Amino acid sequence: MRREPPQTVGDYTPLLFPAAMLTIFFVVPFGTMIAVSFFQRQQGGFYTPAFVFDNYARFLTAFFGGVLGFSLMMAIAVAICCVVLALPFTYMLTRMARSVQVVWLVALLSVLSLSEVIIGFAWSTLFSRTAGITNILVALGLMGEAKALTPSFAAVLTGMVYQAFPYTVLVLFPALVRLDPTLTEAARTLGASPLKAFFTVVVPALRNTIVATLIMVFIFALGSYLLPQLLGRPQHWTLSVLITDQAIYQSNMPFAAAMAVFLVLVTLGLVALTVIAGRKGEAA
Amino acid sequence: MSGLALQNVVKEFGSFRAVNNVELTVPHGTFVCMLGPSGCGKTTLLRMIAGLDLPTGGAIRLDGEDITHVPTHKRNLGMVFQSLALFPHLTVGENIAYPLRIRKAPKEDQKRRVEELLSMIHLSGYADRPVSKLSGGQRQRVAIARALAISPKLFLLDEPLSALDAKLREAMQVELRQLQQRLGITTIVVTHDQREAMTMADTVVVMNGGEIRQAASPIEIYRRPADSFVADFIGQTNLIEAEADTQGHVSVLGQSVPGLALPSGEAKATLSIRPEDVHLTAPGAGAISGTVTFVRDLGGTIETFVDVAGRQIVAVSTPRERPDVTVGQQVGVALTPDVCVVLRK
């Protein structure tokens, strides 16, 4: 069936509702935030409308630059860890019996139902000295004495990977199910070991899906602000934590808004770069 | 000995026996077609030869060496899948070079071999095209070239031509057979199309219910089928019950047929008579009599349906030898010993 492009104004009516929702709940707040980011802060109070670049200028210090860099690095690390773990896992899962798949998918979905707070406190208990997993290692004789694993960067990374892993699997699952299983069999008959077949056939054939998943997990991880506080030290705090801090505890809305706008711009820039790089790779 | 040998190969899926005690030797350089209805175990057998499935019992030997437990990627074979399984992220040339790249062949050798194979399949100059831009027949040939890239000891094809339209399929059958003869490579093709098997094979292996019913040359399978399944599966045939009395006089459908004999000691057997062997004569005189019920004139051939004691016998003749019969006419069906194949029960 060939779809005709809309002819009259009336043809656009189905778009009205989503357009209105998007305007009211996204465009307007985002516009307000951009406007506020240029406002003048009133010491000890709120802000007055103005057009100054002070908030952005303050942002361009080594400290905030460092935090931004750390946030991006953290989100990239989470994205890579998630995809590296989830891709082989999901590949195996799609080759299992239907009943096994259902059990795993239900388990993963139930992880999704956990709130970030519960995940954070659960991991901080698991990483604690008194009740944590190191006690098991001690009991097994693998470790001298129990110790706390949190706060640390590894603890933050673990918590965030744990949180993002189900999303990653659910995004990869349909693409892997659709992947023709005879592709890997063909690779094996042509002389590739199962591992080699995975890396020379499954991974390249799913390149676009993998890039899309990386971007999704990256953006998901960039917004996390609870887990870094629960499981990390102040130097592991992401930009989102600082934004919350400025907006709520320091009552510095204009600066918080400026940071948020900057974060959005950097994120969009990175995503655009990835997409362009992907296109180039495709053309080659 | 050189070639492939299957010894007592068994494959069970749970309690279902998909392949039952298969014994087969394929001498080096022969073209074998495994033929049978769907679910007869032919694809499972091929997958075991490829190492994609492990046999439950028995052994598979290649050139005298037991390869039953050798993993697929170490068997050095070429296989063409029903879905072709061309790698969508690679170009035509990269697809063909894949087995060479995996074996870390030098770049120049890979390039030369790809050129060689492309010219063999009449697709020179297509190396840089994406596989998605090819037609069905071209993709087919690329899959064949990729499987032959390393000059494998064994060339396996699983229903390779089933996705092509009838005309292209016939052309590819001839092409594949000529290619195999030129390369002298041991080839096993799984198919459910008996025309395909007759066109290409040195040996046709007819399977049913996980067992080999007959393995012989196409013409022998056709002329001397081992049992009624084979006779019925390969081409058209008339299967008629025959009975022998204590003196050895044979009667068919209640009418005695002098000159015909059943294997000694057998009281009952099935006769297979190909429609083109059925000769219609005047009633009586060494023929069983029946009534013509329908004449189908297809131009190239004429099929005459004769009812004998409730059983339908089909005769096929060319326009040149067109029988002069009309519907309702009494005719005789000549059953001479040279056209009747007696099948074991």
Quick one: tokens of B29?
Answer: 């350089």
Are B154 and B8 contained in the same domain?
Answer: yes
- What distance in Å separates residue B72's CA from the closest CA in chain A? 6
pLDDT of residue B215: 93
Q: Which of B48, B82, B86, B89 to probe the A interface (max A CBs under 10 A)?
A: B89
Q: Which domain-ending residue is among B183, B212, B230?
A: B230
Are B15 and B54 contained in the same domain?
Answer: yes
Res. B285 pLDDT band, cuts 50 70 90: low
- Give the CATH number of the domain where residue A130 resides: 1.10.3720.10
Query: For the segment B58-114, what is each residue's pLDDT rounded down to a tens digit?
Result: 999 999 899 999 999 999 899 999 999 999 999 999 999 999 999 999 999 999 999
Mean pLDDT across chain B: 88
- Cβ distance of B150 and A191 shorter than 8 Å: yes
Domain, as residue range, for A261: 68-283
Are B81 and B30 contained in the same domain?
Answer: yes
Closest residue in A to B52 (Cα–Cα): A185
Q: Assess if residue A51 is contained within a domain.
A: no
pLDDT of A161 above 80:
yes
Compute the C-alpha angle A125/A129/A134, nearest 5°.
90
Are B203 and B240 contained in the same domain?
Answer: no
Are B267 and B325 contained in the same domain?
Answer: yes
- What distance in Å separates residue A211's CA from the closest CA in chain B? 15
Q: Assess if residue A7 is contained within a domain.
A: no
- Exposure string over B288-324, b if 16+ CB within 10 A, otherwise e: bbbebeebeeeeeebebbbebeeeebbbbbeeeeebe
Closest residue in B to A186 (Cα–Cα): B85
* Count: domains in chain B: 2
User: Pseudo-torsion of CA A58, A60, A63, A69, nearest 10°?
Assistant: 140
Res. A283 pLDDT band, cuts 50 70 90: very low
Instruction: Return the number of CB contacts < 8 Å for A and B.
Output: 69
Are B162 and B61 contained in the same domain?
Answer: yes
Q: Give, to the nearest 10 degrees, the angle between helix A153-178 and helix A116-126.
A: 120
Are B209 and B287 contained in the same domain?
Answer: no
The residues facing B27 across adjacent strands are B3
Q: Cβ contacts (< 8 Å) between B102 and chain A: which residues?
A: 187, 190-192, 196, 200
- Cβ distance of B73 and A186 shorter than 8 Å: no
* Count: domains in chain A: 1
HSE, side-chain direction, 13 A CA sphere, residue B17: 11
Q: Which domain-ending residue is among B181, B203, B230?
A: B230
Assign residue B33 a region: left if phi > 0, alpha if psi is -120 to 50, beta otherwise? beta
Q: Which of A190, A193, A196, A198 to probe the B interface (max B CBs under 10 A)?
A: A190
Query: For the segment A33-75, what is each residue's pLDDT rounded down to a tens digit?
Result: 888 888 887 776 677 777 777 778 877 777 888 888 888 899 9
Q: How far apart are CA A98 and CA A102, in angstroms?
A: 6
- What distance in Å separates residue B15's CA from the closest CA in chain A? 18
- Cβ distance of B77 and A189 shorter than 8 Å: yes
Q: Cβ contacts (< 8 Å) between B51 and chain A: which residues?
A: 188-189
Given A180, A191, A196, which is nearest B85 (Cβ)?
A: A180
- Give the CATH number of the domain where residue B247 resides: 2.40.50.140
Given A190, A196, A204, which is nearest B89 (Cβ)?
A: A204
pLDDT of B167 above 90:
no
Are B58 and B156 contained in the same domain?
Answer: yes
Quick one: tokens of B177?
Answer: 């057979």
Q: How far apart are CA B90 and CA B97, in angstroms?
A: 10
Domain, as residue range, for B179: 3-230
Are B265 and B220 contained in the same domain?
Answer: no
Q: Assess if residue A177 is contained within a domain.
A: yes
Res. A12 pLDDT band, cuts 50 70 90: confident
Query: For the segment B304-326, what is each residue's pLDDT rounded down to a tens digit?
Result: 999 988 889 999 988 888 778 88
Closest residue in A to B151 (Cα–Cα): A190
Q: Which domain-ending residue is among B211, B230, B249?
A: B230
Interval B157-172 mean pLDDT: 87
Q: Cβ contacts (< 8 Å) between B156 and chain A: which residues?
A: 189
Res. B259 pLDDT band, cuts 50 70 90: confident
| Bond preceding residue A151 cis, omega within 30 of 0 | yes
Interval B145-172 mean pLDDT: 89
- Cβ distance of B52 and A205 shorter than 8 Å: no
- Cβ distance of B102 and A200 shorter than 8 Å: yes
Note the residue count of chain B: 345
Q: Assess if residue A27 is contained within a domain.
A: no
ipTM above 0.90, yes or no: no
- Give the CATH number of the domain where residue B49 resides: 3.40.50.300
Are B48 and B197 contained in the same domain?
Answer: yes
pLDDT of B210 above 60:
yes
Given B72, B82, B89, which is nearest A188 (Cβ)?
A: B72
Across A148-157, A273-282, B102-111, the highest mean pLDDT is recorded for: B102-111
Query: For the segment A93-142, what is each residue's pLDDT rounded down to a tens digit?
Result: 998 889 999 999 999 989 888 888 899 899 988 888 888 888 888 888 87
Closest residue in A to B50 (Cα–Cα): A189
Are B332 and B314 contained in the same domain?
Answer: yes
Q: Cβ contacts (< 8 Å) between B44 and chain A: which residues?
A: none
Q: Using an 8 Å CB-CB cutoff, list residues of chain A that contact chain B.
A: 180, 182-183, 185-194, 196-197, 200-201, 204-205, 207
Is B4:B154 a contact under the CB 8 Å cutoff?
yes
Are B202 and B274 contained in the same domain?
Answer: no
Q: How far apart are CA A100 and CA A278, in angstroms?
A: 35
pTM of the model: 0.78
- What distance in Å separates residue A176's CA from the closest CA in chain B? 14
- Cβ distance of B72 and A182 shorter than 8 Å: no
